[in-house]
Structures are given as C-alpha cells and as structure tokens.
Structure 1
Amino acid sequence: MADMDKDIETRKDPAALIATASVDDINAEARAAADEEHSHTFWEAVKLYPQAVGWSLFFSIGVIMCAFDPQLLGQLYATSAFQRDFGYLYEGSYIVSAPWQTGLSMGSPIGQVVGAFCAAYPMEWFGRKKTFGACVIFTTGFVFIQFFARSLPVLLVGELLGGLVLGSYAVIAPAYASEVCPLALRGVLTSCTNICFVTGQLIANGVIAGTHNIDSHWAYSAPFAVQWLWPLVILAGLPFAPESPWWLQRQGRFEDAEKALKRLASRGVDVRPTLAMIIETDRLEREIESGSTYTDCFKKINIRRTEIAVGVYTIQVLSGIYLVGYATYFFTLAGLPSDQAFNMGVGFLALGFVGTCLSWVLLVYFGRRTIYNTGLAILAALQIIIGILDCAPNYDNRPGIKWAESVLMLIWNFIYDLSIGPVCFVLLCEVSATRVRGKTIAIATAVQATAGIVMTVAIPYMINPDQANLRGKLGFFFGGLAALCLLWSYFRVPELKGRTYQEVDIMFERNVKTRDFKRYVVEREAVTARAN
C-alpha cells in the first residue's frame, strides 16, 4: 500500500520522479514514449496534440512579420509614388538608385545576422515565450519610424532597426515548433516556417497590388501601417501560450514541464513517458558533451550537424530565393505592363503558398533527403533554361519570350516552396542537438543572412537598367550555384524522417554515413547501454 501511495505521489510530482526513479526506469519510460511516437500516424498525432499544432502556428506568426517587411520594400521599388518621393529621374521615369536599394534592403539580412545571435541567449535565459513577447513589442515601436519616414535616410534607419528584431523570429518559431510537436507532426509543423514566409510575402504583394496606384504617400505609408496588425494578435494571445517543455526541463522545472506537456496534449494523454524521453535525451547529450554554447556547435561531436544546418539554409539564398523580393520589379523590367507585373507578383507567391501546402503531403510520405535533392535539381534546371531564353535573338521584339521567362519564374517558385523551402526548416530543427538547437539555428540563420547581404548588394546592380541589366541571364548565375549546391547536398544531407531526437544523437555520435541514415537501426540495447 505504501508503495502504491509512493507511486501515485511520484506520478503527480515529476520532481519526485527524478529524485526516486533509477536511470533504468527513466530510460524504460523514454523508450515507451519513443515507441508510441513511432506508432502514431499524422492524423492520430493531430487528434492527440491539437494544442501543440495551434501554439506552433501561433509562434510562427512572427515569421510572417519577418517576411512581410523585406518583401514590401522590394515591391515598393516598382511603385510610382515611392519612386517619385524617394527616387530620381532616369530616361523619363523615376527609379530608386541601386546604392539606395542596396542600403534599404540591407535591413532584413543584417537584422537576421544580429537578431539571430541576439535571440539565442534570451531564449535560453528567459525562455521562448518571453523572448518572443519582447521582440514583438520592439517591432511595434520600430514600425513608427517606417510609417512616418519621408526621406531615404529616415527610412533606412527604420529598416535597419526593424530588421534587428525581425531576424529573431526566424530562430524562435522553428525552435519552438520542434520542441512542442510529437514526431509524427514535427516535419509538417517545422516546415510551417516556410509557409509563414510565403504568407508574409503574399500579403505584402497583395497590399501593394491594392495601393500602388494611389498618387500620394499613402501608397507606401498604408502598407507599412499593416505591420501593426500582427503585434495586436500576438500580444493578445501570448499570455496563454505554454512554454517549451524542453527549455523548462533544462531549467530543472520538471513540474512546469509536465504542465506544459499537458497543455499541448488532449485530455487523457499520459505525458509522463514524454517527459522521461525529454530528460533522457538531455542526459544523453550531456553525456556525449554536445554542450550548450556557440563554441560547442563547432566541437567534433556537433560540427557535422552544424555544417548541415548551415548548408541547407544557405542554399536557399544560393539557389535564387532573393529574386522573390524583386519578382514584380523583374516582371516590369521584362516588359510586362505595370498592372500585369503586380498581378504576376501576387500569382508568383500564391503558387508558392500552394506549393508549401502540397509539401506537407510529401513530408508525410517521402523522406527529407529525397524531396530536398530532387527539388534542388529541378530548380537548377529551370534557372538555366531562363538564362538560355534571355539570350534569344531579337529579344526586345518578342514578347512571347518575356512571358515564357515570367511563367518559368512562377514554376520555379512553386517547386522551391514544394521542396527545399519547407524541407530546409525541417532539417534545420531535426539535425541540431536539442541543447544547442537555438544556437545552431542562429548560426545557420546568420550565415544564410550573410549570403543574403551579398545578394542584396549584388542583385540591384545585376538587374537595374542603369547598371548591368542582366534580366533573365541571372538564371545562369543562380542555376550554376544551385548545381554546385546539389553536389554538396547529395553527399552531406542525411535522411532523418521518422527519427526521434535521441536516435539522431546516437547516429551522429557514431558518425553514420550520409546514405546509411535511412536504413540504420538503433537497437534498444545500445540505448540502454548508453544510459548505464
């Protein structure tokens, strides 16, 4: 009877579980949780963890803000009122000079570099929830600068300061999603980071499509004001959001971790085994010395994982994603009328939205490695075809070629958001050790954004009519880079579908070859031996 009472108290108090249970007991609970997660189908997991789905999507709203601002700015370069108020006269029409385009567009990538590194420490000190709330409050304030800007220097200050905060959302959202979702939902919900990027870009294009004909400052002031909508939604719901149970466990707050798990699951779900799995995974990572600092990300045990995270994220830039921000401008330079160019810009991102939704189906049935490499190969081929079309004789008098290039850009964006766009965020979360996940994502984000800074400087000079005026010949540049990236990803990106974080830790510790990840068997006996 006493033993029964003790067991009841232990189940009520996770701290008692840690204090009284042996390593073998915790490991057995962890194995039970892992087996149960492996057995769930996608829809079963949705029914068991509906709150995890909802709160993961809620934290991803920050990514919409992160995507909205730079996309908005790219579309403003093709807006008449913005060109007139911030540009100069060139051959009978107003344009914003390439140096100022570069400077203004620097806010997002520079912000991602600084914001990513700055966000990682508060995320560990104060948790995902408080860090998210603080960032949203700062964003609300910096939008005022953009809204009231009437000169390029003031707008530049607003973009740079705003970008510093916006960069943090790309770290917080995937980290939170990966820590509140069960295995069966992890791929889809971490990939939602990409659909939020697309949603932010699509909303920006839609807003500009509705305001670009206004012949006053409201053509650009009104779109800037739209950014105040997201903080209202987030700050209203954030007090009710649960904190990451992985973070709470690392703070020794086991009872709070159990409460968070219960809030993420349906009633009746026993979260005790899940808590044991979190504890055991954290213990394993401490044992293999995965560490918890930026320096630890580059130690032998983690360096391969950091390389893969950095690689899959940076490939987004190298394959040509920064052209998305210049889509409408590209269509205009290709010779399409202004209204058609703006409509094509909206259609461009609408296809991306559909592609990301369809990627969820692929993620349920196909491996990450297969989707990523196949998509990257198609993207490289499409870019090269665009480059070839742009070399056609008598290009200026053949509108059919201009339309063909524009349609291929639409297809390119669809394939991107069907493959490497969403799968990148899945790999980013799955490949990193849980103790350094925030910092690994921050490093990958910073490197990706640094590559973005290079593209932000280069693209205006490559695409502007008063500079290189390359038009579709950019396809050769990005197509060639994408082909080189495909070669790297084939040999370095492993298959992680259906693997728990503990299994991933063990396979990387054993230095399993990239192509063997899919079929590698992590035996229970090996996990138990590791625990002992």
Structure 2
Amino acid sequence: MTADPEKREPQETEQADPQHETERARGLGIDETRDITAAEHELGFWEAVRKYPKATFWSMFFCIAVIMAGFDAQIITSFYALPAFQQKYGNLVGDSYEIAVPWQTGLGMGNPIGQVIGALASSYPLDLFGRRKTLAMCCVWSIAFVFVQFFATSIGMLCAGEILAGFAYGFYVVIAPTYASEICPLALRGFLTASVNLAFVIGQFIAQGCAAGVESRLDEWAYKVPFAIQWIWPVVLLAGLPFAPESPYWLVRRGRKEDARKALLKLTSSKSRPDIDNILLGIEQTDLLEREYESSTSYFDCFKGANLVRTEISIMVYLIQVIAGNPLIGYSNYFFEQAGLSSYNAFNMGVGNTALGFVGTVLSWPLMNYFMFGRRTIYNSGMVVMTVVLFVIGFLGIPTNNTGAVWALASLMDFWTFVYQMTVGPICFVIISEISATRLREKTIAIATAAQSVASIVFTVAMPFMLNSDEANWGGKAGFLFGAISFVCFIWCFFRLPESRGRTYEELDILFQRRVPARQFKKYDLLAEATSNDKL
C-alpha cells in the first residue's frame, strides 16, 4: 500500500469500466486505501472519543475564538437602548438621547464588513503559517483593537474599531471549522464541526446576559465592561496555543511528514492509540489524489471543474443561514414589546431565545451521532419546518392591534430559532467542512463566509425599512418574504445538497470528480466497487 504514483502504473493495463478508465489508469480509485477507509467507517463515536480525546479538546479550544465573533455581533446592537451608551455617543432628541440611525447601521455592519475582508484574507496566512500561528496572530490583533473600542472617544472611532476587530472575526470563523475537520476522525467530524455553531450561540448568550447585567448602570462602565470582557478570550487562546498540535493535513501539504506524525501522536490517546502510519497514509493519499485533480490552490481553483460544485454547496448552505429567515428572528424583542412587554422583560425574553438556540445546537449532536441521521436529512427537514413556520408568522402579522396574534408570532420566532439551531445552524458548519477539498478548504470556507457576511450587510440595511412603522411597516408580514426565499432554498437543497455523512475526504473527492448526482451520494458504494476491481 503506497502513495507513490509510479508504483501504481501497472493499473494502466487493467480492463476497466469506461466511466472510470481514466481514474483507474491514474490510480485514483479508492483501491489504494480501501482498508483504511473501511476502518474509518467501522470506528464508532465513543470509541473515537477514547482514541482521539485530545483532538476533541483542541477542536473545542479553537472554537473559543468563534465565541468572540458571536459576542461582539450581539453586544453592540444591545447598546442602542442602553442609557449610558446613548448619552455618550448619541444625540439629544427632545428629553432623551438617541443613537442616530446611520450610526446604528454603521455599528451593526462593522462586524460583517470586517468578516468579509478577514475571511477572504485568511487563506494566505493559513496556507503559509498554518492554523495555530495564524490564530495566535489574530488574537494579538483582537487584543489591540478591543483597546480602540474600550477607549473610543467618538462614535466614529468606535465604528472603526468594530470594523477592524471584525477583520479578526473573519479569520476565526474560517480557522475553527477548518482545524476541527482536519484533526478529527470521521466518527467525530460532525460533532466537532457542529460545535462551531454552539460557540456562536454561547457568545450571543454571554452577550445577552452581560448586557442585562449592566442595563441599570448609568456610568461609562455600563458599556466598557462588555468591551473589556472581550480581552478574556484571546488571552486564554494565547496561553493554550503553544501546546496545541498543528493540523496534520497542513503539515503533509508542506512536506513535513514527521511533524505530521508527531501531531497525530499528540491528538490521540497513548492508551488506545489508532494506527498512526495508516492515518498518515490516508492523509497523504488524499493529498496526492487532490494534486492529481488540481495542482494549484488559488481562489480561482475553487471555481474550476468539480470544485465549482463544492464551492456552490458551501456558499449556499452558509448563505441560507442569513437569507432564509434569520434577520426577521433577530427582531423578536421588537415583537415582544409590541405584545405589551416592557423593554426589560422583552430583553429577558431575548435571553431565553438564545438559550433555546443553545439547547437546539446540543440536540443536533445526538441527531447526527446517536440517531445516525445524515447531514442532508437533518438540513432538509429543518428547511421544511422553518419554511412553514415563516409563512405562519406572515399570516399572524396580518391582524392589527391583536395582542394574542403578536404573542403567537413572537413565540413562533423562538420555536423557529430552536429548529434552526438544531438543524440548519450547526449542520451548515459540518457540511462546509466536509464538502470542500482539503487543499482548498480554507479558501472555500472563506468564500462562503464572505458571501454570508455580504448578505448580513444587505439585510442589516434592509430590515429597518421593512419593519419600521414610518417605512414599509410590514411587521410579521415579512414572514411571507422570508418564507418564499426559504422555500426556494429548500428546492435547491433537495436537488443540489449531497449526503456527506460516513464519507472520508478521499471518497468525497472521487464522488465529486465523477460528478455523482447529489441524491445518489448516500447509496454510491465505492468500497464494493474497489472489491469488484480486485477480482478483475
């Protein structure tokens, strides 16, 4: 068993199925790593946890960076109704201070604008320096620009700090799923990549709780304390990163095979260690296979051949997070106030909304690992339920001055959040981590992140015009718009979203290269084909 292409040349003389003749001639079937692939398929979840305990820990450790991104995006919008923040950065309107709408828009867009730039810029340092060093550099960057936020003397300075801090957040949301997908075995891949979404939810939950805790303060610490909390995460990461192993996939691509072996030793248990040589061989074979398909690793390569389909899928599943209802759900506090709750109680209901998101994300783990549902099944089921709920929200928005309808509408928003965080939210990160080619993973995830952030910017501008009473005043009727978009997205998912559960990266490379239709991924048996080839 070898990854050397020269030693596979005799396969050129074999009789092959015409559909795969070119692959067989180049040695690009699953034959070379059939035993390794079979072992990956047979490895159970809890056995994988026992064999890869450190991989599980380090994957979750890298997710701490994503907590920062979720925290920042949530905390800045909660400041708009904070009296101390209004007095510092707002304008006197009548007897009270208000943050001007253009500045609200600017502050709200700071995080996603920074993420667009950061995500697209992330692939080059990730490719050059690796995952660990790049994350460390971003932590230093975050520490520096939290100072800008903390000591901002004007709202313009604060907005600049938001954009520059968001630059690092773009890196974080690329690094975390990339690293998790590259250090864990097949059995843990869904669990660990879905944890990226949990990190987002934890960040939002901490931000909501933090803002509730300082809501009654009238001094500058009402908004400075939340900013200061952002120093905790990068310090914790910088303290642990020197001990973190580098991605073995990145090390193999850099020609550092022995370092990759050492990284695998650090990621596995000394008491029940898997066959390191076989794992390393599987990584080398996957890299070799992708080199045969495409020798370069530029952004342009993400849009060539089979990689175009993989990029399309990654962009769409991430984009759906924004365009299929999330912007409307972000205004649940607004509808709670319409139902008659005080702003304080409406905010507490918002905390409950993020708590439901936390529970939903945790429940996605047993769906994938205990009930053994596939990614496609969970994602599409979530799309169906979310679409129906959005249309119901739209109908509930039709009655005017109906407190019961508004309560039902706001409650359905919480239910939508629960379903979203159990299906589309976490499964998105699983899919983008699995579908992208390993050599183009950071670039593919960066493109998808940038597309999602651009959509966030668009809806940040559009939502006030949809909902404000002096503009379109759609209220809950905006559910019709998002329901229609969600339905179209479900149609795309049905025809274009493949099942990646239980597939090694090498298998996925072959399936995409053969242009197997998305709905046939689940039943396409490469191992049986390899066995049949051996008998020829």
Q: What's the TM-score, normalizing by structure 2?
A: 0.90
Alignment of 1:123-162 (within 5 A): 123-162=126-165
Whether the aligned pair in 2 keeps the contact of 1:248 and 1:256 (CA below 8 Å) is yes
1:357 aligns with 2:356: no
Whether the aligned pair in 1 keeps the contact of 2:396 and 2:409 (CA below 8 Å) is yes
Number of residue pairs the alignment of both structures matches:
512
Alignment of 1:480-495 (within 5 A): 480-495=484-499
Specify the code of the residue in structure 2 equivalent to 1:406.
A
Specify the code of the residue in structure 2 equivalent to 1:354.
V
Runs of 4+ aligned structure 1 residues displaced above 4 Å come to 17-29, 89-94, 323-327, 524-530
CA 1:470–1:146: 2 relative to 1, 3 Å = farther
CA 1:337–1:216: 2 relative to 1, 3 Å = same
Residue 287 of structure 2: aligned partner: 282
Shift in Å at residue 109 of structure 1? 1.2
Shift in Å at residue 525 of structure 1? 5.6
**Separation in 2 of the partners of 1:133 and 1:143?**
16
Whether the aligned pair in 1 keeps the contact of 2:391 and 2:483 (CA below 8 Å) is yes
Q: Which moved more, 1:298-307 or 1:286-295?
A: 286-295
**Separation in 2 of the partners of 1:96 and 1:529?**
69
- Residue by residue over 1:449-505, the C-alpha shift from the partner in whole angstroms, topping out at 9 and shown as x without a partner, is 111110111123333455444332222222221111111111110111100011111
Whether the aligned pair in 2 keeps the contact of 1:31 and 1:277 (CA below 8 Å) is no
- Residue by residue over 1:124-159, the C-alpha shift from the partner in whole angstroms, topping out at 9 and shown as x without a partner, is 000000000000110011001111224221111111
Specify the code of the residue in structure 2 equivalent to 1:180.
I
1:260 aligns with 2:263: yes
Shift in Å at residue 522 of structure 1? 0.9
Residue 10 of structure 1: aligned partner: none
1:59 aligns with 2:66: no
Q: Which moved more, 1:465-474 or 1:59-68?
A: 465-474
Q: 2:519 aligns with which of 490, 511, 515?
A: 515
Alignment of 1:119-268 (within 5 A): 119-267=122-270, 268=273
Q: 1:438 aligns with which of 429, 438, 442?
A: 442
Shift in Å at residue 22 of structure 1? 5.1
Whether the aligned pair in 1 keeps the contact of 2:182 and 2:248 (CA below 8 Å) is yes
Indicate the SS of the match to 2:49: helix
**Separation in 1 of the partners of 2:334 and 2:276?**
51
**Separation in 1 of the partners of 2:526 and 2:4?**
28
Residue 49 of structure 1: aligned partner: 52
Residue 368 of structure 1: aligned partner: 375
CA 1:120–1:510: 2 relative to 1, 3 Å = same
Shift in Å at residue 86 of structure 1? 2.8
- Residue by residue over 1:405-456, the C-alpha shift from the partner in whole angstroms, topping out at 9 and shown as x without a partner, is 2211111110000000000011101111111011000111111111111011
5+ unaligned residues in a row in structure 1: which ranges?
Answer: 1-16
**Separation in 2 of the partners of 1:512 and 1:18?**
25
The two structures, once aligned, show a CA RMSD in angstroms of 2.4
5+ unaligned residues in a row in structure 2: which ranges?
Answer: 10-26
Q: Which moved more, 1:20-29 or 1:310-319?
A: 20-29
Specify the code of the residue in structure 1 equivalent to 2:311.
T
Q: Which moved more, 1:216-225 or 1:436-445?
A: 216-225
**Separation in 2 of the partners of 1:28 and 1:78?**
62
Residue 447 of structure 1: aligned partner: 451
**Separation in 2 of the partners of 1:122 and 1:332?**
46
Whether the aligned pair in 2 keeps the contact of 1:75 and 1:329 (CA below 8 Å) is no
Specify the code of the residue in structure 2 equivalent to 1:505.
D
Residue 383 of structure 1: aligned partner: 390
Specify the code of the residue in structure 1 equivalent to 2:448.
A
Indicate the SS of the match to 2:441: helix
Shift in Å at residue 174 of structure 1? 0.2
**Separation in 2 of the partners of 1:86 and 1:403?**
33
1:35 aligns with 2:38: yes
Shift in Å at residue 89 of structure 1? 5.2
Specify the code of the residue in structure 2 equivalent to 1:110.
I
Whether the aligned pair in 1 keeps the contact of 2:301 and 2:307 (CA below 8 Å) is yes
Specify the code of the residue in structure 1 equivalent to 2:115.
Q
Q: Which moved more, 1:74-83 or 1:262-271?
A: 74-83
Q: 1:118 aligns with which of 113, 116, 121?
A: 121
Q: Which moved more, 1:28-37 or 1:18-27?
A: 18-27
Q: % of aligned pairs identical?
A: 52
**Separation in 1 of the partners of 2:158 and 2:331?**
19
Specify the code of the residue in structure 1 equivalent to 2:378.
I
Residue 81 of structure 2: aligned partner: 78
Shift in Å at residue 517 of structure 1? 0.8
- Residue by residue over 1:495-532, the C-alpha shift from the partner in whole angstroms, topping out at 9 and shown as x without a partner, is 111000111111111111111111011146659989xx
Shift in Å at residue 19 of structure 1? 8.5
Specify the code of the residue in structure 2 equivalent to 1:375.
G
Specify the code of the residue in structure 2 equivalent to 1:447.
A
